[in-house]
Every structure is written in structure tokens, then in C-alpha cells.
């Protein structure tokens, strides 16, 4: 810890409320900040200021699959900072960023060959929505302005991503400021048909027909794009039913609607393939990514688009501003250098193959909770899983909060939203670490129940 952090009382300052924490019940933390301050991290563990190790059960916020303090990343960051720490993003660029675009395009499904960089998942989503609008307009179909998202979808917190998102509490406060013309498909989760499912549920593909209903309602000529997370992550790992994404693809193609996969969580290996598009063998028109591309070390996001979309923006009058969009930090060289180090490590250590080998370990471990008292549902795919607790009567979310707090006491940093706990452990986890993680959660749930 450096001097600056030593000279002040972090817990006291947190209690004062000077630092307003994102997506956090601030009053609860301020009342009891003990244990909430992380001083350092290495591998799959955080170390709190008060001396506890916490296993990182969600890889940060799904963003640190290689674990913390990865030597290759640290070295790449340092080297890049000494060589080119920033590069004007408009009109100019640099080899590190250009080469990263090429490497990412090579990982994407065939035909998605062009990468536009942003700095977060939210920015990536808003970029993709704007690309969709621009694409239709350039093709004289500017009447296509509607966006279709999905209930329980999370697409970040920009006005675009919030509008297409479907998590009710994230929308409620800002309901007056939603984008015009957004509609939502139902989500596909129905425990009555798919409780305790392993991998893709077999029930639910017919929910894709919601899209046909919205097309009939609004007319295809008004619809620009459909955006879905292939696996709904933030809302608790909702896995697409067999055939569902295929059906969305068919309907979009039939009606000239662009299909966007928001792969901010699923991109870069989480499902045992580079992208979920490959795991489910469904090719979208755009893929948004962020998080794991830089192992969370430096913010980066982006959108990968098809040749057809890219070429649409490349036609038209010379010197026209084809796409008036971009960020000061688009393709930041430090992020790009880290991106290379991440991809190098993934290749050298065969980490995506490792995810495939860990998937059954996590699956077997997590489903030992099936049917236990207090457990309403358990599901998994790739190196991710979720457990729904039975909510306490009259106190929804209270059991999730209790689980989170007990987790801290038992060496786990858990991600609990409402009464759901989601897991997305680092790819570098050992099978035993996964079993221990689930075993500890099982013990806590048994005591809560
Ligand atoms: N899309 C998805 C699918 C996400 O999971 C997230 C973040 N959890 C976002 C977008 C937003 O990303 P960010 O927080 O980097 O803006």
C-alpha cells in the first residue's frame, strides 16, 4: 500500500459518504464499511485491507478470467506506457490497436471482420445501436428506428442500453428518459419448465415467436435491431432454450432486422468458445464485447460487425462523415497492449479448452444444491452458473444479502442480486477451488435455510 492510502482512514471516509459507490446500497456500506475495502489481489483471490483472502467467484464483475496481477499483463502495460501511452483516436491510430482489431476479428465468427473500439460494455451497446440506425439510414431505410430488447436483459447504463435493457429496478427511476420505440421480448426463464437445468433448457424456444408478434405489431419496416445477451448474465445466468437463438436469427433475417449479440460477459471464452455465437452456432450481425478482452485491467469494449454493415458505411460520398461516433479513448493503446497480453495468455495456456474441462466440474458441484431446502433453482453453462434462493416471506432480497455477507466471512466474494447468486469464476481456477467455492455456499445456504 502506498503512502497516500496509508495517511487516511479509508473506512471512515467511506462511512462519511464522500465516495458514492455504484450499484451499491450505500447506506448499508456506510453503516458498516468493515471488510469492504480491498487492498490487493493476486490470482483468483482478493485481499482485504483487514487481512482476509476472498475467492473471486465472479472474476471481478465477469471481467478478470486470468486472475489478478497476471505477469504478462503487468509487463505489457508497463512496456506500452513507456512507448506510447496515448494516441489521438480520430484520424490517427497506432499499430498495437490495429493489430488487436485484426486478432479479435480472427476470433469472431466468419463474416464479422470489422472492429470498432469503445471503453466499456455500455458504450459498446450504445455504439452498436447507433451503427444499426446508421446502417438502415444509409440504405434508405431510415424508417427503421425501433429497437427490441428482452425482459431481464442487461445492456449497461447508457440511455440506449438502459432503454433496451429489461431489468425493472434499473429502469424505474429513469422511465421518462427512455429511447423512443423500444419494445421487449419476454425472457425465457420459467422454473416450472426448466428448474435445475444443466446447459440449455429444452423448453422455451417458442418464446422467440414474440419477435414475430412484435414485427406484426410494429411492421418490420420500422424495426432496426434486436439485441439480446445470448446468456443473460447480470440477471442470473439465464441460458437460452435449445433452438431459441436460431429462431431469432431466422426471424431477423426474414425481416431485414439486425441481430446484435451482447457478448460483454460471454465473449472471450466464458462459454468455452471465443464467443457465444460459436457455442450456439448462431451468427449475429454485430457482437458487442468488453470486460475480459483486457482482463478488467484497463477499460475497453467494442463492436464487431459484418462485412455488409461495414461496407454500407464505406459507400457514399468521399469525405462525408460516414459514422459520426467515437470516443477520446477508443482503441486506447494501453488497453490494446493489455488485450494482446490477454489473447497471448489465452492461447499459451489453452484457457478456453480449460473452460471446457472445468464446465462439468462446476456443473457437478453446483447441482449438488438441486432440491435443497431454501434453493429454488440452479442452472449452469460454460464456466458460469447461478442459484436462486427461495425468497424470505415479505423480504425479497434479504436472503441474497445474508448470503453475500456470510460469504465475506467465509472467504468468498459473491455476486448476489436479489435472491440470486451468480458465479463466473476465473478460468485459471482449479477444479478443487470450484468445488470448495460451491461447498462453502452450500454450507451457508443450509444455515440460512
Ligand atoms: N452488457 C452486458 C451483457 C453486461 O453484462 C454489462 C455489464 N455487466 C454491460 C453491457 C455494461 O458494461 P459496463 O459496465 O462495462 O458498461
Q: How far is the CA of 303 from the centre of ligand 1 (A)?
A: 13
Could you read off the pLDDT of 356-373 as tens digits, one per residue? 999 999 999 999 999 999
Query: What are the CB-based long-range contacts (under 8 Å, 24+) for 96-103?
Result: 96/333, 96/336, 96/337, 96/340, 97/331, 97/332, 97/333, 97/336, 99/336, 99/340, 100/331, 100/336, 100/339, 100/340, 100/343, 101/331, 103/339, 103/340, 103/343
Residues of the chain with CATH 3.40.640.10: 73-348
Give the class (CATH, top level) of 73-348: alpha beta
Is the pLDDT at 203 greater than 50? The verdict is yes
Taking 90 as the threshold, does the pLDDT of residue 383 lie above it?
A: yes
pLDDT value at 321 more than 90: no
* 319 confidence band (pLDDT: 50, 70, 90): low
In the numeric block, the cell 450504445 is attached to 126
Q: What percent of the chain has pLDDT over 70?
A: 98
**How many angstroms does the Cα of residue 213 sit away from the middle of ligand 1?**
28
Which parts of 64-208 fold into alpha helices (H)?
71-83, 95-107, 121-138, 159-164, 168-172, 191-194
State the pLDDT at residue 7: 73
- What's residue 318's pLDDT? 62
Gap from CA of 316 to ligand 1 centroid (Å): 33
Q: What is the pLDDT of residue 320?
A: 65
Output DSSP code: residue 68: B
Inter-residue contact 398 to 392 (CB < 8 Å): yes
Hey, what's the cell of 151? Answer: 425482459
For the domain covering 35-64+351-448, report its CATH number.
3.90.1150.10
In the predicted model, is pLDDT for residue 5 greater than 70? no
Nearest residue to 386 (alpha-carbon basis) of 426, 438, 429: 438
Cα 62 to ligand 1 centre (Å) = 9
Closest residue by Cα to atom 3, ligand 1, is 264
What's the whole-number mean pLDDT along residues 190-200? 96
Nearest-atom index, ligand 1, CA of 262: 3
To which residue does cell 487516511 refer? 8
Q: Residues near ligand 1 with C-beta < 6 Å? A: 61, 120-122, 125, 154-156, 229, 233-234, 262, 264-265, 290
User: Is the predicted pLDDT of residue 6 greater than 70, yes or no?
Assistant: no
Sign of CA dihedral 392, 395, 399, 400: positive
Instruction: Report which ligand 1 atom has the smallest distance to the Cα of 153.
Output: 3
Compute the CA torsion angle 152, 155, 157, 159 (nearest 10 deg): -100
Q: Where in the chain is the domain with CATH 3.90.1150.10?
A: 35-64+351-448
pLDDT confidence of 315, banded at 50, 70, 90? confident
DSSP state of 120: S
| pLDDT above 50 (res 1) | no
- Residue 438 belongs to what H/E stretch? helix 431-448
Percent of the chain with pLDDT over 90: 96
What DSSP string describes 223-277? EEEEEE-SSB-TTT-BPPPTTHHHHHHHHHHHHT-EEEEE-TTTTTTTTSSSSHH
- State how far the Cα of 391 lies from the Cα of 374, in Å rounded to an integer: 8
Give 107-145 pLDDT, tens digit per residue.
Answer: 999 999 999 999 999 999 999 999 999 999 999 999 999
pLDDT of residue 45 exceeding 70? yes
Residue nearest to atom 13 of ligand 1 (CA): 121
Question: Are 440 and 432 a contacting pair, CB within 8 Å?
Answer: no
* Cα(449) to centroid(ligand 1), Å: 32
Question: Taking a C-beta distance cutoff of 8 angstroms, is the pair 329, 88 a contact?
Answer: no
Residue nearest to atom 1 of ligand 1 (CA): 155
Render pLDDT for 258-300 as a digit per residue (tens, 0 to 9): 999 999 999 999 999 999 999 999 999 999 999 999 999 999 9
Which of 63, 441, 137 lies closest to 289 in space, CA to CA? 63
Report the candidate in 241, 235, 236, 281 with the shortest Cα–Cα distance to residue 261.
281
pLDDT of residue 4: 54
Residue 316: per-residue pLDDT: 72
Give the number of residues written for the chain. 449
CA of 265, closest atom in ligand 1: 5
What rounded mean pLDDT belongs to the chain?
Answer: 96
pLDDT tens digits, one per residue of 204-256: 999 999 999 999 999 999 999 999 999 999 999 999 999 999 999 999 999 99
Q: Which atom of ligand 1 is nearest to the CA of 120?
A: 15
In Å, the largest CA–CA distance within the chain is 68
Atom of ligand 1 nearest to the CA of 158: 16
Cα-flanking dihedrals φ and ψ of residue 184, to 5°? -130, 140
- Please give the backbone phi and psi of residue 342, each rounded to the nearest 5 degrees, phi first: -65, -50
Dist CA 129 CA 151 (whole Å): 17
Across the range 424-435, mean pLDDT stands at 98
d(CA 162, ligand 1 centre) in Å: 11
Q: Give the ipTM.
A: 0.99
Nearest residue by C-alpha to atom 12 in ligand 1:
121
Q: Which residue has the cell 412484435?
A: 214
- Edge-first strand order for the sheet with 258-262 is 112-118, 301-306, 286-289, 258-262, 223-228, 146-150, 182-185
Amino acid at each position: 500500500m502506498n503512502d497516500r492510502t496509508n495517511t487516511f482512514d479509508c473506512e471512515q471516509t467511506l462511512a462519511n459518504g464522500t465516495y458514492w459507490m455504484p450499484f451499491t446500497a450505500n447506506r448499508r456500506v456506510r453503516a458498516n464499511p468493515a471488510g469492504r475495502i480491498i487492498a490487493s489481489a493476486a490470482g483468483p483471490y482478493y485481499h482485504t485491507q483487514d487481512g482476509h483472502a476472498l475467492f473471486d467467484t465472479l472474476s471481478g464483475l465477469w471481467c478478470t478470467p486470468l486472475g489478478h496481477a497476471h505477469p504478462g499483463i503487468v509487463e505489457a502495460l508497463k512496456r506500452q506506457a513507456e512507448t506510447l501511452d496515448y494516441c489521438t483516436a480520430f484520424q490517427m491510430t497506432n499499430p498495437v490497436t490495429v493489430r488487436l482489431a485484426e486478432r479479435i476479428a480472427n476470433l469472431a465468427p466468419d463474416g464479422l471482420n470489422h472492429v470498432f473500439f469503445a471503453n466499456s460494455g455500455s458504450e459498446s451497446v450504445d455504439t452498436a445501436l447507433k451503427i444499426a440506425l446508421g446502417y438502415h439510414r444509409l440504405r434508405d431505410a431510415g424508417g427503421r428506428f425501433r429497437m427490441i430488447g428482452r425482459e431481464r436483459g442487461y445492456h449497461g447504463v447508457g440511455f440506449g442500453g438502459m432503454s433496451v435493457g429489461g431489468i425493472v429496478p434499473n429502469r424505474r427511476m429513469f422511465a421518462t428518459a427512455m429511447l423512443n420505440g423500444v419494445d421487449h421480448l419476454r425472457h425465457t426463464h420459467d422454473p416450472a419448465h426448466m428448474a435445475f437445468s444443466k446447459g440449455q433448457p429444452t423448453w422455451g424456444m417458442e418464446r422467440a415467436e414474440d419477435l414475430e408478434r412484435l414485427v406484426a405489431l410494429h411492421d418490420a419496416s420500422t424495426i432496426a435491431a434486436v439485441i439480446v445477451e445470448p446468456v443473460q448474465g447480470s440477471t442470473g445466468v439465464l441460458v437460452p432454450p435449445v433452438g431459441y437463438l436460431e429462431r431469432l436469427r431466422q426471424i431477423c433475417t426474414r425481416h431485414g432486422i439486425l441481430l446484435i449479440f451482447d457478448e460483454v460477459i460471454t465473449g472471450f471464452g466464458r462459454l468455452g468458445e471465443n464467443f457465444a455465437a460459436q457455442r450456439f452456432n448462431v451468427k449475429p450481425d454485430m457482437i458487442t464485447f468488453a470486460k475480459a478482452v483486457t482482463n478488467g485491467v484497463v477499460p475497453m469494449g467494442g463492436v464487431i460487425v459484418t462485412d455488409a454493415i461495414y461496407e454500407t458505411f464505406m459507400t457514399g460520398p468521399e469525405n462525408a462523415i460516414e459514422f459520426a461516433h467515437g470516443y477520446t479513448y477508443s482503441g486506447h493503446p494501453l488497453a490494446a497492449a493489455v488485450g494482446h497480453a490477454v489473447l497471448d495468455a489465452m492461447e499459451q495456456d489453452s484457457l478456453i479448452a480449460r473452460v471446457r474441462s472445468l464446465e462439468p466440474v462446476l456443473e457437478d458441484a453446483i447441482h449438488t444444491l438441486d432440491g435443497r431446502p431454501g434453493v429454488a433453482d440452479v442452472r449452469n453453462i460454460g464456466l458460469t452458473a447461478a442459484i436462486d434462493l427461495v425468497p424470505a416471506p415479505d423480504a425479497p432480497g434479504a436472503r441474497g444479502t445474508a448470503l453475500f455477507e456470510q460469504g465475506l466471512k467465509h472467504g468468498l466474494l459473491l455476486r448476489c442480486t436479489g435472491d440470486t447468486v451468480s458465479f463466473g469464476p476465473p478460468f485459471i481456477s482449479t477444479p478443487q477451488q470450484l468445488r470448495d467455492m460451491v461447498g462453502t455456499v452450500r454450507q451457508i445456504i443450509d444455515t440460512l435455510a
